[in-house]
Amino acid sequence: MSRYAHPAGPRHADVLPEDNPPRPPHDLIELDPRVWPATARRVDGELVLGGVGASALAAEHGTALYVLDEDDFRARARDYRTAFSDADADVYYAGKALLTKAVARWVHEEGLKLDVCSGGELAVALAAGFPAAHIGMHGNNKSEAELARAIDVGVGRIIVDSFDEIERLERLAAERGRVPDVLVRVTTGVEAHTHEFVATAHDDQKFGFALSTGAAAEAVRRVLAAEHVNLVGLHSHIGSQIFDTAGFEVAARRVTAFLTTIHAETGVVLPELDLGGGLGIAYVPDDAPLAPKTIAESLLGIVRRECEAADLPMPRIAVEPGRALAGPAGVTLYRVGTVKDVEGIRTYVSVDGGMSDNIRTALYGSEYTCVLASRASDAPPMLSRLVGKHCESGDIIVHDLYLPADVRPGDLVAVAATGAYCHSMASNYNHLPRPALVAVRGGVSRTLVRRETEEDLLRLDVG
Ligand SMILES: *Cc1c(COP(=O)(O)O)cnc(C)c1O
Protein backbone atom coordinates (compact mmCIF):
# COMPACT_ATOMS: atom_id res chain seq x y z
CA MET A 1 0.00 0.00 0.00
CA SER A 2 1.36 3.40 -0.88
CA ARG A 3 2.39 5.49 2.03
CA TYR A 4 1.41 8.48 -0.09
CA ALA A 5 -2.14 7.21 -0.22
CA HIS A 6 -2.23 6.84 3.54
CA PRO A 7 0.18 9.42 4.89
CA ALA A 8 1.19 8.98 8.49
CA GLY A 9 1.67 12.69 9.04
CA PRO A 10 -0.54 15.69 8.33
CA ARG A 11 -1.65 16.18 4.75
CA HIS A 12 -0.35 19.07 2.72
CA ALA A 13 -3.51 19.54 0.76
CA ASP A 14 -2.70 23.08 -0.21
CA VAL A 15 0.72 22.16 -1.54
CA LEU A 16 0.10 18.80 -3.16
CA PRO A 17 -3.48 17.81 -3.82
CA GLU A 18 -3.20 14.14 -2.85
CA ASP A 19 0.23 13.47 -1.55
CA ASN A 20 2.77 14.08 1.11
CA PRO A 21 5.90 15.74 -0.22
CA PRO A 22 8.16 13.03 -1.58
CA ARG A 23 11.63 12.25 -0.36
CA PRO A 24 14.26 14.97 -0.27
CA PRO A 25 16.16 15.19 -3.54
CA HIS A 26 19.49 13.79 -2.37
CA ASP A 27 18.95 10.77 -4.62
CA LEU A 28 18.91 12.91 -7.75
CA ILE A 29 22.46 11.81 -8.39
CA GLU A 30 23.27 9.45 -5.53
CA LEU A 31 22.47 5.80 -6.10
CA ASP A 32 21.28 4.57 -2.75
CA PRO A 33 22.70 1.04 -2.35
CA ARG A 34 19.56 -0.06 -0.52
CA VAL A 35 17.56 0.47 -3.69
CA TRP A 36 19.93 0.01 -6.63
CA PRO A 37 21.55 -3.26 -7.74
CA ALA A 38 24.98 -4.04 -6.33
CA THR A 39 26.88 -3.10 -9.50
CA ALA A 40 25.08 0.23 -10.14
CA ARG A 41 27.51 3.16 -10.48
CA ARG A 42 27.70 6.66 -11.84
CA VAL A 43 30.52 6.98 -14.37
CA ASP A 44 30.93 10.49 -15.81
CA GLY A 45 27.39 11.16 -14.69
CA GLU A 46 25.92 8.21 -16.50
CA LEU A 47 24.25 5.25 -14.80
CA VAL A 48 26.25 2.05 -15.34
CA LEU A 49 24.78 -1.39 -14.56
CA GLY A 50 26.90 -4.53 -14.58
CA GLY A 51 29.63 -2.49 -16.24
CA VAL A 52 27.38 -1.37 -19.11
CA GLY A 53 26.31 2.25 -19.51
CA ALA A 54 22.66 3.21 -19.80
CA SER A 55 23.20 4.88 -23.19
CA ALA A 56 24.92 1.81 -24.62
CA LEU A 57 22.13 -0.43 -23.31
CA ALA A 58 19.48 1.81 -24.87
CA ALA A 59 21.40 2.07 -28.15
CA GLU A 60 21.86 -1.68 -28.43
CA HIS A 61 18.54 -2.95 -27.10
CA GLY A 62 16.12 -0.02 -27.36
CA THR A 63 13.79 1.27 -24.65
CA ALA A 64 11.75 0.60 -22.61
CA LEU A 65 14.22 -2.02 -21.41
CA TYR A 66 14.31 -4.42 -18.46
CA VAL A 67 17.90 -4.74 -17.23
CA LEU A 68 18.82 -7.51 -14.83
CA ASP A 69 22.06 -7.42 -12.81
CA GLU A 70 23.05 -11.08 -12.89
CA ASP A 71 25.64 -10.81 -10.12
CA ASP A 72 23.14 -9.08 -7.86
CA PHE A 73 20.48 -11.75 -8.46
CA ARG A 74 22.96 -14.57 -7.89
CA ALA A 75 24.36 -12.96 -4.73
CA ARG A 76 20.88 -12.63 -3.24
CA ALA A 77 20.06 -16.24 -4.14
CA ARG A 78 23.33 -17.35 -2.53
CA ASP A 79 22.65 -15.28 0.60
CA TYR A 80 19.31 -17.03 1.08
CA ARG A 81 20.81 -20.44 0.33
CA THR A 82 23.62 -19.87 2.86
CA ALA A 83 21.34 -18.38 5.51
CA PHE A 84 19.11 -21.45 5.51
CA SER A 85 21.79 -24.09 4.91
CA ASP A 86 22.60 -24.72 8.59
CA ALA A 87 19.10 -26.05 9.18
CA ASP A 88 19.19 -27.95 5.91
CA ALA A 89 16.11 -25.95 4.94
CA ASP A 90 14.93 -25.64 1.36
CA VAL A 91 14.87 -22.32 -0.43
CA TYR A 92 12.47 -22.25 -3.37
CA TYR A 93 12.70 -19.25 -5.66
CA ALA A 94 9.13 -18.17 -6.46
CA GLY A 95 9.30 -18.07 -10.25
CA LYS A 96 6.19 -15.98 -10.62
CA ALA A 97 8.28 -12.93 -9.65
CA LEU A 98 10.42 -13.28 -12.81
CA LEU A 99 11.08 -16.41 -14.79
CA THR A 100 13.10 -16.96 -17.94
CA LYS A 101 15.24 -19.94 -18.89
CA ALA A 102 18.42 -18.10 -17.87
CA VAL A 103 16.93 -17.08 -14.52
CA ALA A 104 15.91 -20.70 -13.89
CA ARG A 105 19.48 -21.82 -14.63
CA TRP A 106 20.95 -19.23 -12.24
CA VAL A 107 18.54 -20.42 -9.53
CA HIS A 108 19.64 -24.02 -10.06
CA GLU A 109 23.33 -23.14 -10.20
CA GLU A 110 23.05 -21.27 -6.90
CA GLY A 111 21.57 -24.35 -5.24
CA LEU A 112 17.95 -23.26 -4.88
CA LYS A 113 14.76 -25.05 -5.77
CA LEU A 114 11.98 -23.47 -7.81
CA ASP A 115 8.29 -22.76 -7.38
CA VAL A 116 5.99 -22.56 -10.37
CA CYS A 117 2.28 -21.88 -10.42
CA SER A 118 1.16 -22.64 -13.95
CA GLY A 119 1.85 -24.96 -16.85
CA GLY A 120 3.63 -22.07 -18.58
CA GLU A 121 6.03 -21.49 -15.71
CA LEU A 122 6.62 -25.24 -15.51
CA ALA A 123 7.37 -25.31 -19.25
CA VAL A 124 9.99 -22.54 -18.89
CA ALA A 125 11.63 -24.36 -15.98
CA LEU A 126 11.74 -27.67 -17.85
CA ALA A 127 13.01 -25.98 -21.02
CA ALA A 128 15.87 -24.61 -18.90
CA GLY A 129 16.69 -28.13 -17.75
CA PHE A 130 15.61 -27.42 -14.17
CA PRO A 131 15.38 -30.77 -12.33
CA ALA A 132 11.69 -31.58 -11.88
CA ALA A 133 12.33 -33.13 -8.48
CA HIS A 134 13.40 -29.67 -7.27
CA ILE A 135 10.22 -27.97 -8.45
CA GLY A 136 7.19 -27.14 -6.32
CA MET A 137 3.88 -26.71 -8.15
CA HIS A 138 1.35 -24.19 -6.82
CA GLY A 139 -2.03 -23.01 -8.01
CA ASN A 140 -5.59 -22.83 -6.74
CA ASN A 141 -6.97 -24.13 -10.04
CA LYS A 142 -4.41 -26.39 -11.66
CA SER A 143 -5.89 -27.94 -14.79
CA GLU A 144 -5.94 -31.68 -15.47
CA ALA A 145 -3.23 -31.11 -18.07
CA GLU A 146 -1.07 -29.18 -15.61
CA LEU A 147 -1.44 -31.83 -12.91
CA ALA A 148 -0.86 -34.67 -15.37
CA ARG A 149 2.30 -33.05 -16.63
CA ALA A 150 3.51 -32.36 -13.09
CA ILE A 151 3.06 -36.05 -12.24
CA ASP A 152 4.57 -37.27 -15.52
CA VAL A 153 7.74 -35.19 -15.23
CA GLY A 154 8.10 -35.96 -11.52
CA VAL A 155 7.62 -32.54 -9.94
CA GLY A 156 9.01 -32.79 -6.39
CA ARG A 157 6.11 -31.23 -4.46
CA ILE A 158 2.56 -30.47 -5.49
CA ILE A 159 0.89 -28.00 -3.16
CA VAL A 160 -2.77 -29.02 -3.02
CA ASP A 161 -5.25 -26.25 -2.71
CA SER A 162 -8.81 -27.64 -2.96
CA PHE A 163 -10.92 -30.75 -2.40
CA ASP A 164 -11.51 -30.95 -6.16
CA GLU A 165 -7.78 -31.07 -6.69
CA ILE A 166 -7.30 -33.89 -4.17
CA GLU A 167 -9.78 -36.04 -6.13
CA ARG A 168 -8.30 -35.06 -9.48
CA LEU A 169 -4.78 -35.76 -8.30
CA GLU A 170 -5.69 -39.15 -6.85
CA ARG A 171 -7.33 -40.18 -10.13
CA LEU A 172 -4.52 -38.90 -12.37
CA ALA A 173 -1.82 -40.44 -10.16
CA ALA A 174 -3.67 -43.77 -9.97
CA GLU A 175 -4.00 -43.88 -13.77
CA ARG A 176 -0.26 -43.46 -13.98
CA GLY A 177 0.66 -45.75 -11.13
CA ARG A 178 2.44 -42.88 -9.40
CA VAL A 179 2.35 -41.45 -5.87
CA PRO A 180 3.30 -37.75 -5.92
CA ASP A 181 4.47 -36.01 -2.74
CA VAL A 182 2.17 -33.19 -1.73
CA LEU A 183 1.84 -30.40 0.80
CA VAL A 184 -1.56 -29.18 1.94
CA ARG A 185 -1.83 -25.41 1.73
CA VAL A 186 -3.44 -24.04 4.84
CA THR A 187 -4.65 -20.53 5.55
CA THR A 188 -3.91 -19.46 9.08
CA GLY A 189 -6.01 -16.31 9.14
CA VAL A 190 -2.80 -14.27 9.17
CA GLU A 191 -2.37 -11.70 6.45
CA ALA A 192 0.86 -9.74 6.45
CA HIS A 193 1.88 -6.67 4.47
CA THR A 194 4.89 -4.52 5.22
CA HIS A 195 5.01 -3.83 8.95
CA GLU A 196 1.47 -4.79 9.72
CA PHE A 197 -0.26 -8.08 9.87
CA VAL A 198 -3.83 -8.98 10.57
CA ALA A 199 -4.67 -12.18 12.40
CA THR A 200 -8.34 -12.96 11.99
CA ALA A 201 -10.49 -15.98 12.60
CA HIS A 202 -11.98 -16.12 9.11
CA ASP A 203 -10.18 -16.63 5.86
CA ASP A 204 -12.00 -14.82 3.09
CA GLN A 205 -9.73 -15.72 0.16
CA LYS A 206 -9.38 -18.18 -2.67
CA PHE A 207 -6.17 -19.91 -1.58
CA GLY A 208 -5.74 -22.93 0.62
CA PHE A 209 -7.81 -24.62 3.30
CA ALA A 210 -8.78 -22.60 6.36
CA LEU A 211 -7.57 -23.87 9.71
CA SER A 212 -10.37 -22.04 11.48
CA THR A 213 -13.25 -23.73 9.64
CA GLY A 214 -11.93 -27.28 9.86
CA ALA A 215 -11.36 -27.40 6.08
CA ALA A 216 -7.63 -27.92 6.59
CA ALA A 217 -8.24 -30.88 8.93
CA GLU A 218 -10.65 -32.40 6.41
CA ALA A 219 -8.12 -31.90 3.58
CA VAL A 220 -5.43 -33.67 5.60
CA ARG A 221 -7.82 -36.56 6.31
CA ARG A 222 -8.69 -36.92 2.63
CA VAL A 223 -5.09 -36.75 1.44
CA LEU A 224 -4.06 -39.32 4.05
CA ALA A 225 -6.89 -41.55 2.82
CA ALA A 226 -5.91 -41.13 -0.84
CA GLU A 227 -3.81 -44.09 -1.97
CA HIS A 228 -1.87 -42.36 -4.71
CA VAL A 229 -1.07 -39.10 -2.97
CA ASN A 230 1.67 -38.92 -0.35
CA LEU A 231 1.24 -36.19 2.28
CA VAL A 232 4.63 -34.87 3.39
CA GLY A 233 3.69 -31.60 5.03
CA LEU A 234 1.90 -28.29 5.24
CA HIS A 235 2.29 -25.02 3.40
CA SER A 236 1.43 -21.53 4.62
CA HIS A 237 1.99 -18.25 2.76
CA ILE A 238 0.92 -15.11 4.60
CA GLY A 239 1.46 -12.14 2.30
CA SER A 240 3.98 -9.98 0.52
CA GLN A 241 6.51 -7.17 1.05
CA ILE A 242 6.88 -8.18 4.72
CA PHE A 243 9.55 -6.44 6.81
CA ASP A 244 9.41 -8.32 10.08
CA THR A 245 8.62 -11.81 11.26
CA ALA A 246 5.75 -11.13 13.67
CA GLY A 247 3.16 -12.37 11.17
CA PHE A 248 5.18 -15.53 10.56
CA GLU A 249 5.27 -16.08 14.31
CA VAL A 250 1.48 -16.11 14.63
CA ALA A 251 1.12 -18.26 11.50
CA ALA A 252 3.77 -20.73 12.71
CA ARG A 253 2.07 -21.01 16.08
CA ARG A 254 -1.25 -21.83 14.43
CA VAL A 255 0.31 -24.32 12.02
CA THR A 256 2.20 -26.03 14.82
CA ALA A 257 -0.97 -26.32 16.83
CA PHE A 258 -2.49 -27.96 13.77
CA LEU A 259 0.45 -30.37 13.44
CA THR A 260 -0.19 -31.36 17.05
CA THR A 261 -3.87 -31.99 16.31
CA ILE A 262 -2.99 -34.08 13.25
CA HIS A 263 -0.59 -36.12 15.34
CA ALA A 264 -3.12 -36.65 18.11
CA GLU A 265 -5.89 -37.60 15.68
CA THR A 266 -3.99 -39.77 13.23
CA GLY A 267 -0.63 -40.58 14.77
CA VAL A 268 1.03 -39.00 11.72
CA VAL A 269 3.98 -36.65 12.19
CA LEU A 270 4.29 -34.49 9.10
CA PRO A 271 7.97 -33.94 8.28
CA GLU A 272 7.83 -30.72 6.23
CA LEU A 273 6.64 -27.17 6.75
CA ASP A 274 6.81 -24.57 4.00
CA LEU A 275 6.39 -21.03 5.32
CA GLY A 276 5.98 -19.41 1.89
CA GLY A 277 7.47 -16.17 0.63
CA GLY A 278 6.66 -12.52 0.93
CA LEU A 279 9.95 -11.14 2.23
CA GLY A 280 10.18 -7.45 1.49
CA ILE A 281 12.67 -5.35 -0.47
CA ALA A 282 13.55 -1.65 -0.60
CA TYR A 283 11.71 0.19 -3.37
CA VAL A 284 12.58 3.51 -1.75
CA PRO A 285 15.41 4.15 0.73
CA ASP A 286 13.00 4.23 3.69
CA ASP A 287 12.09 0.57 3.22
CA ALA A 288 14.18 -1.57 5.55
CA PRO A 289 14.17 -5.26 4.63
CA LEU A 290 15.65 -7.83 6.98
CA ALA A 291 18.83 -9.65 6.02
CA PRO A 292 18.32 -13.30 4.95
CA LYS A 293 20.36 -14.50 7.94
CA THR A 294 18.13 -12.60 10.36
CA ILE A 295 15.04 -13.98 8.64
CA ALA A 296 16.39 -17.53 8.75
CA GLU A 297 17.32 -17.34 12.44
CA SER A 298 14.00 -15.81 13.31
CA LEU A 299 11.80 -18.22 11.33
CA LEU A 300 13.72 -21.31 12.38
CA GLY A 301 13.69 -20.11 15.99
CA ILE A 302 9.94 -19.57 15.92
CA VAL A 303 9.19 -23.05 14.56
CA ARG A 304 11.71 -24.71 16.87
CA ARG A 305 10.15 -23.04 19.93
CA GLU A 306 6.63 -23.91 18.88
CA CYS A 307 7.54 -27.54 18.17
CA GLU A 308 9.42 -27.93 21.44
CA ALA A 309 6.43 -26.54 23.32
CA ALA A 310 4.17 -28.98 21.50
CA ASP A 311 6.62 -31.86 21.92
CA LEU A 312 6.86 -32.40 18.16
CA PRO A 313 10.02 -33.06 16.15
CA MET A 314 11.29 -30.04 14.20
CA PRO A 315 10.01 -30.33 10.61
CA ARG A 316 12.21 -29.61 7.62
CA ILE A 317 11.53 -25.96 6.77
CA ALA A 318 11.13 -24.40 3.34
CA VAL A 319 10.79 -20.76 2.31
CA GLU A 320 9.84 -19.26 -1.04
CA PRO A 321 11.33 -15.82 -1.66
CA GLY A 322 10.49 -14.34 -5.06
CA ARG A 323 10.67 -10.56 -4.93
CA ALA A 324 13.60 -10.65 -2.48
CA LEU A 325 15.83 -12.25 -5.14
CA ALA A 326 14.60 -10.75 -8.40
CA GLY A 327 13.27 -7.34 -7.35
CA PRO A 328 16.43 -5.44 -6.42
CA ALA A 329 18.40 -6.95 -9.33
CA GLY A 330 16.16 -5.31 -11.95
CA VAL A 331 16.12 -1.78 -13.35
CA THR A 332 13.86 -0.45 -16.10
CA LEU A 333 15.34 2.04 -18.55
CA TYR A 334 13.00 4.41 -20.37
CA ARG A 335 13.50 7.25 -22.80
CA VAL A 336 11.78 10.53 -22.03
CA GLY A 337 9.41 11.60 -24.79
CA THR A 338 7.59 14.64 -23.46
CA VAL A 339 7.91 16.96 -20.46
CA LYS A 340 4.72 18.78 -19.54
CA ASP A 341 4.53 21.32 -16.76
CA VAL A 342 1.11 21.45 -15.15
CA GLU A 343 1.32 24.98 -13.82
CA GLY A 344 1.55 25.15 -10.04
CA ILE A 345 1.17 21.42 -9.50
CA ARG A 346 3.95 19.31 -10.94
CA THR A 347 5.72 18.31 -14.12
CA TYR A 348 4.64 15.21 -16.01
CA VAL A 349 7.55 13.35 -17.56
CA SER A 350 6.29 10.82 -20.12
CA VAL A 351 8.33 7.80 -21.15
CA ASP A 352 8.11 5.08 -23.79
CA GLY A 353 6.51 2.42 -21.60
CA GLY A 354 4.19 2.50 -18.62
CA MET A 355 1.53 0.31 -17.07
CA SER A 356 2.11 -2.41 -19.69
CA ASP A 357 5.66 -3.01 -18.40
CA ASN A 358 5.00 -2.03 -14.77
CA ILE A 359 1.45 -2.46 -13.53
CA ARG A 360 2.44 -2.39 -9.87
CA THR A 361 1.95 1.33 -9.29
CA ALA A 362 -1.55 1.26 -10.76
CA LEU A 363 -2.40 -2.06 -9.12
CA TYR A 364 -0.94 -1.63 -5.64
CA GLY A 365 -0.01 2.05 -5.37
CA SER A 366 3.62 0.95 -5.23
CA GLU A 367 6.44 3.43 -4.77
CA TYR A 368 9.63 3.50 -6.80
CA THR A 369 12.93 5.32 -7.01
CA CYS A 370 13.86 6.90 -10.34
CA VAL A 371 16.90 8.85 -11.54
CA LEU A 372 18.09 10.60 -14.66
CA ALA A 373 20.32 7.90 -16.15
CA SER A 374 22.02 9.23 -19.27
CA ARG A 375 23.86 12.24 -17.85
CA ALA A 376 24.63 14.32 -14.81
CA SER A 377 22.77 17.56 -14.21
CA ASP A 378 23.30 20.52 -11.90
CA ALA A 379 19.76 21.76 -12.45
CA PRO A 380 17.64 22.20 -9.31
CA PRO A 381 15.22 19.43 -8.34
CA MET A 382 11.79 19.56 -9.91
CA LEU A 383 8.75 17.81 -8.49
CA SER A 384 7.74 15.35 -11.19
CA ARG A 385 5.48 12.44 -11.95
CA LEU A 386 6.79 9.68 -14.19
CA VAL A 387 4.03 8.48 -16.52
CA GLY A 388 3.74 6.09 -19.42
CA LYS A 389 2.24 6.38 -22.88
CA HIS A 390 -0.99 4.44 -22.36
CA CYS A 391 -4.52 5.74 -22.73
CA GLU A 392 -5.24 5.85 -19.00
CA SER A 393 -4.73 8.74 -16.62
CA GLY A 394 -3.78 6.07 -14.05
CA ASP A 395 -0.82 5.07 -16.21
CA ILE A 396 1.66 6.24 -13.60
CA ILE A 397 5.03 4.62 -12.93
CA VAL A 398 6.25 6.87 -10.10
CA HIS A 399 3.75 9.17 -8.41
CA ASP A 400 6.14 11.69 -6.95
CA LEU A 401 9.80 12.13 -7.52
CA TYR A 402 12.34 14.82 -8.06
CA LEU A 403 14.12 14.97 -11.38
CA PRO A 404 16.58 17.68 -12.43
CA ALA A 405 14.61 20.64 -13.79
CA ASP A 406 16.38 20.40 -17.14
CA VAL A 407 15.10 16.87 -17.88
CA ARG A 408 14.15 16.84 -21.56
CA PRO A 409 13.05 14.60 -24.42
CA GLY A 410 15.78 12.14 -25.33
CA ASP A 411 17.06 11.72 -21.76
CA LEU A 412 17.11 8.26 -20.27
CA VAL A 413 15.60 7.64 -16.86
CA ALA A 414 15.99 4.50 -14.76
CA VAL A 415 13.50 3.05 -12.28
CA ALA A 416 15.03 0.84 -9.58
CA ALA A 417 13.81 -2.43 -8.07
CA THR A 418 11.66 -3.48 -11.03
CA GLY A 419 13.07 -7.00 -11.31
CA ALA A 420 10.05 -8.69 -9.73
CA TYR A 421 6.44 -8.61 -10.94
CA CYS A 422 7.09 -6.22 -13.83
CA HIS A 423 8.23 -8.45 -16.70
CA SER A 424 6.12 -11.29 -15.30
CA MET A 425 3.00 -9.10 -15.20
CA ALA A 426 3.61 -7.27 -18.47
CA SER A 427 0.77 -6.90 -20.96
CA ASN A 428 0.25 -5.73 -24.51
CA TYR A 429 -2.17 -2.98 -23.52
CA ASN A 430 -2.60 -0.54 -26.41
CA HIS A 431 -0.74 -3.14 -28.48
CA LEU A 432 2.58 -2.04 -27.11
CA PRO A 433 5.14 -4.75 -27.85
CA ARG A 434 6.67 -5.90 -24.57
CA PRO A 435 10.22 -4.71 -23.77
CA ALA A 436 13.30 -6.87 -24.04
CA LEU A 437 14.87 -8.29 -20.90
CA VAL A 438 18.67 -8.21 -20.84
CA ALA A 439 21.19 -9.44 -18.30
CA VAL A 440 24.29 -7.38 -17.57
CA ARG A 441 27.48 -8.75 -16.09
CA GLY A 442 31.15 -7.83 -16.31
CA GLY A 443 30.65 -5.11 -18.91
CA VAL A 444 28.56 -7.26 -21.24
CA SER A 445 24.83 -7.23 -21.91
CA ARG A 446 23.02 -10.32 -23.13
CA THR A 447 19.43 -10.60 -24.32
CA LEU A 448 17.39 -13.05 -22.25
CA VAL A 449 14.00 -12.25 -23.74
CA ARG A 450 13.95 -10.35 -27.01
CA ARG A 451 11.76 -7.33 -27.58
CA GLU A 452 8.36 -8.09 -29.06
CA THR A 453 7.62 -6.70 -32.48
CA GLU A 454 4.42 -5.71 -34.19
CA GLU A 455 4.82 -8.88 -36.26
CA ASP A 456 4.78 -10.90 -33.03
CA LEU A 457 1.50 -9.24 -32.08
CA LEU A 458 -0.03 -9.68 -35.53
CA ARG A 459 1.02 -13.33 -35.75
CA LEU A 460 -1.51 -14.18 -33.04
CA ASP A 461 -4.28 -12.16 -34.70
CA VAL A 462 -5.54 -14.73 -37.20
CA GLY A 463 -8.98 -13.24 -37.88
C1 LIG B 1 3.77 -15.07 -4.48
C2 LIG B 1 4.18 -16.21 -3.68
C3 LIG B 1 5.50 -16.31 -3.22
C4 LIG B 1 6.53 -15.25 -3.47
O5 LIG B 1 6.17 -14.02 -2.91
P6 LIG B 1 7.26 -12.86 -2.85
O7 LIG B 1 6.51 -11.72 -2.26
O8 LIG B 1 7.68 -12.59 -4.26
O9 LIG B 1 8.39 -13.36 -2.03
C10 LIG B 1 5.86 -17.45 -2.53
N11 LIG B 1 4.96 -18.44 -2.29
C12 LIG B 1 3.69 -18.37 -2.71
C13 LIG B 1 2.78 -19.48 -2.43
C14 LIG B 1 3.26 -17.26 -3.42
O15 LIG B 1 1.98 -17.20 -3.83
Neighbouring C-beta atoms of residue 178, cutoff 10 Å: 14
- Kindly report the average pLDDT of the chain as a whole number: 92
The reply to whether 333 and 397 lie within a common domain is yes
- Give the tens place of pLDDT for each residue, 64-121: 999 999 999 999 999 999 999 988 899 999 999 999 999 999 999 999 999 999 999 9
The reply to whether 180 and 236 lie within a common domain is yes
Phi and psi torsions of 295, nearest 5°: -60, -45
Degrees, nearest 5: CA angle 67-433-284: 40
Structural domain ending residue among the three candidates 290, 311, 326: 326
Asked if residue 153 lies in contact with residue 210, where contact means CB atoms within 8 angstroms, the answer is: no
- Give the tens place of pLDDT for each residue, 407-452: 999 999 999 999 999 999 999 999 999 999 999 999 999 999 999 9
Regarding the beta carbon of 113 and ligand 1, being less than 6 Å apart is answered: no
Residue 1 maps to a domain: no
Residue 299 maps to a domain: yes
Question: Residues 317-322: what's their mean pLDDT?
Answer: 98
Structural domain ending residue among the three candidates 326, 353, 379: 326
Regarding the beta carbon of 134 and ligand 1, being less than 6 Å apart is answered: no
Q: Where are the alpha helices (DSSP H) in 154-291?
A: 163-176, 215-225, 246-266
Highest mean pLDDT (candidates 199-213, 295-309, 421-435): 421-435
Contacts of 155 (CB under 8 A, 6+ apart): 122, 132, 133, 135, 136, 137, 180
Q: Which of the residues 117, 307, 391, 422 is marked catalytic?
A: 391
Domain extent for 226: 71-326
Q: What is the DSSP-derived secondary structure letter of residue 391? A: S
The reply to whether 346 and 318 lie within a common domain is no
Neighbouring C-beta atoms of residue 86, cutoff 10 Å: 11
Residue 178 maps to a domain: yes
- Distance (Å) from CA 327 to ligand 1 centroid: 12
The reply to whether 335 and 419 lie within a common domain is yes
The reply to whether 308 and 410 lie within a common domain is no
Confidence band for 7, pLDDT divided at 50, 70 and 90 = very low
The reply to whether 44 and 128 lie within a common domain is no
Confidence band for 6, pLDDT divided at 50, 70 and 90 = very low
Which pLDDT does position 23 carry in this prediction?
53
The reply to whether 179 and 257 lie within a common domain is yes
The reply to whether 194 and 320 lie within a common domain is yes
Residue 164 maps to a domain: yes
The reply to whether 202 and 320 lie within a common domain is yes
The reply to whether 150 and 297 lie within a common domain is yes
pLDDT surpassing 70 at residue 251: yes
345: domain CATH number is 2.40.37.10
Sign of CA dihedral 374, 380, 386, 391: negative
Q: Which residue's alpha carbon is nearest to atom 3 within ligand 1?
A: 277
Q: For residue 163, give Cα distances in angstroms to 46, 176, 198.
A: 55, 20, 26
Q: Which residue's alpha carbon is nearest to atom 7 within ligand 1?
A: 278
Question: Residues 41-53: what's their mean pLDDT?
Answer: 97
Q: In angstroms, rounded to a whole number, what is the distance separating the alpha carbons of residues 256 and 459?
A: 52
The reply to whether 25 and 132 lie within a common domain is no
**pTM for this model (two decimals):** 0.93
Q: Is 391 a catalytic residue?
A: yes
Determine the atom of ligand 1 nearest the C-alpha atom of 237. Answer: 13
Question: Residues 14-34: what's their mean pLDDT?
Answer: 59
The reply to whether 127 and 175 lie within a common domain is yes
Structural domain ending residue among the three candidates 326, 352, 375: 326
Q: In angstroms, rounded to a whole number, what is the distance separating the alpha carbons of residues 256 and 260?
A: 6
97: domain CATH number is 3.20.20.10
* Percent of residues in the chain assigned helix, strand, coil, to nearest 5: 30, 25, 40
